[in-house]
């Protein structure tokens, strides 16, 4: 399967200007924040989670659930076209990486068949630093 190119393309230098070093490491270099340290791990605020790099809507709080894995977990993206899934064979294991469809920034990984009581039996394990929560009733410009 061929992955379509990103709609938003910036040079490496432009990404470095736009993101702080920690954001850049996760979003553009597929890093991972330490478990249980992210700002949205335990958040229960109603709203929309956007890509921190480009502002695209990715997930909604209505699909967020407690997985106790150390990162925010969602059972479904806000829109089936919001994210792209691609095989990730790094670190000596086979996983499925989740990237933003708009800018191809790294968000985290998705896992299936873990037995969580969700409608999809999927866990989108997403780095908090890859997201920006827009509380219900607010706009991303607020």
Among candidate residues 51, 54, 103, 125, the one labeled active-site is: 125
DSSP collapsed to 3 states, the chain:
CCCCCCCCCCCHHHHHHHCCHHHHHHHCCCCCCCCCCCCCCCCCCCEEEEECCCCCEEEEHHHEECCCCCCCEECCCCCCCCEEEEEECHHHCCEEEEEECCCCCEEEEEEECCCCCCCCCEEEEECHHHEEEEECCCCCCC
Is 125 a residue of the active site?
A: yes
Active site residue ranges = 125
């Amino acid at each position: 399967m061929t992955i379509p190119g990103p709609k938003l393309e910036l040079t490496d230098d432009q990404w470095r200007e736009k993101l702080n070093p920690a954001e850049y490491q996760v979003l553009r270099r597929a890093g991972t924040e330490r478990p249980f340290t992210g700002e949205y791990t335990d958040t229960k605020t109603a709203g929309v989670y956007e890509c921190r790099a480009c502002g695209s809507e990715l997930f909604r709080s209505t699909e967020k659930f407690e997985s106790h894995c150390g990162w925010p977990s969602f059972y479904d993206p806000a829109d089936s076209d919001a994210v792209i899934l691609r095989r990730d064979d790094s670190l000596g294991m086979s996983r499925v990486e989740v990237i933003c469809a708009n800018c191809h920034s790294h968000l985290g990984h998705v896992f299936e068949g873990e037995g969580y009581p969700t409608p999809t039996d999927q866990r989108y394990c997403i780095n908090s630093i890859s997201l920006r929560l827009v509380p219900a009733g607010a706009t991303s410009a607020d």
